[in-house]
Amino acid sequence: MTSVHVKELHKTYHNASEPTLKGLSFSLPDGKIVGLLGPNGAGKSTTIAILCGLVKADSGSVHIQQLPQDNAHREAIKRKIGIVPQQIALFPQLTAMENLKYFGNLYGIKGKALHQKIEEYLAAFGLEKSAHKEIRKFSGGMKRRANIIAAILHQPELLILDEPTAGVDVQSRSLILQFLREYNNNGAGVLYTSHLMEEAQQLCEEVVIIDEGHLIVQGRPAALIAQHPECKNLEDVFLHYTGMALRD
């Protein structure tokens, strides 16, 4: 079964001179950790935003677990997926607990069940002592961990994260990656973007490399490396396909 099916996506932002997505297509298997990889400006965040229904494509289609991402199915899809955006989406003046209660309520989780779930996750993410601290006083890594909790309170079958390990310290990164492995071991799919090839090579069962708004190559990291005798790791494969030109 495919969990995500993206077909011929085109997107040009208003006032942009160039299209961002130029006929992007790919399909992802169910229940795997998949990396959506590409250089800066490749269109990763735009793709994620379209998958989640936050941005509208000009043309093309998205299906999440066989449901089309359209007005009629947006709510049903929202319950199946958890979204961790690239920018922290928490209220800075509220505490971690207040933020997480707010997000839990959005998904219809309330009362004692919600409180227990929040406490369990705060502990799992090393934030139990900061439950009543305002988010604005959190470090970057703490904010990122709290942002992940906000996305998983409703136990989504597919967790989608945009650069969850960007700008966090080694300890936070290690905890986040370990969490993604465990979440996936419990049966959920994980789709995450990164530009760190070493990390993706270790974590992902499958990678989708995109550049300039279209698919470059997809496969298991080990298979992609094996296909290119001159490449010793995923970073070499990535450079082989995307070239050495610097990006803005």
Ligand X SMILES: Nc1ncnc2c1ncn2[C@@H]1O[C@H](COP(=O)(O)OP(=O)(O)O)[C@@H](O)[C@H]1O
Q: What residue ranges bind Mg ion (CB under 5 A)?
A: 44-45
43 makes contact with ligand X (CB under 6 A): yes
Token pair for residue 158? 């597919």
Piece of the chain touching ligand X by CB under 6 A; list 43-51, 61-69, 91-99, 103-111: 43-51
Total chain residues near ligand X (CB under 6 A): 11
Options 45, 95, 184, 194; binder of ligand X; rule CB under 6 A = 45
From the list 20, 184, 194, 242, which residue makes contact with ligand X (rule: CB under 6 A)? 20
Nearer to ligand X, 104 or 164 (CB): 164
Minimum CB–partner distance for residue 87 and ligand X (Å): 11
Name the minimum Å distance from CB 166 to Mg ion.
9
Stated as kind and residue range, the H or E segment containing 236 is helix 234-242
Task: Provide the minimum distance between the beta carbon of 48 and Mg ion in the complex, in angstroms, as a whole number.
Answer: 8
Which residue's CB is nearer to ligand X, number 5 or number 195? 195
SS3 27: strand
136: amino acid identity, one letter: R
**Measured between alpha carbons, how far is 83 from 112 in angstroms, rounded to an integer?**
24
Where do runs of H (alpha helix) occur along 67-139?
74-80, 96-106, 111-124
- The interface partner of residue 172, options being ligand X, Mg ion, none and the CB cut-off 5 to 8 Å by kind, is none
Tell me the window of 38-46, 77-85, 132-140, 150-158 that interacts with ligand X (CB under 6 A).
Answer: 38-46
Query: Is residue 44 within 8 Å of 86, Cβ to Cβ?
Result: no
We find the least distance from the C-beta atom of residue 44 to Mg ion, in angstroms, to be 5
Shortest reach from residue 194's CB to ligand X, in Å: 10
Token output for 111: 């009362």
| Cβ neighbour number for residue 105 with a 10 Å cutoff | 13
Among 24, 34, 46, 53, binds ligand X (CB under 6 A): 46
Q: How far is the CB of 163 from ligand X (least distance, A)?
A: 8
Q: How many helices (H) and strands (E) does the chain have?
A: 9, 10
Q: List 10's β-bridge partners, or say none.
A: 22, 59
Inter-residue contact 170 to 139 (CB < 8 Å):
no
The rounded distance, in Å, linking the Cα atoms of 63 and 172 is: 32
Instruction: Extract the tokens encoding 147.
Output: 């942002």
Could you give the CA distance from residue 21 to residue 42 in angstroms, rounded to a whole number?
Answer: 8
Among Mg ion, ligand X, none, what does residue 194 contact (CB within 5–8 Å per kind)? none
Nearer to ligand X, 44 or 63 (CB): 44
Positions in the binding site for ligand X (CB under 6 A):
13, 16, 20, 38, 40-46
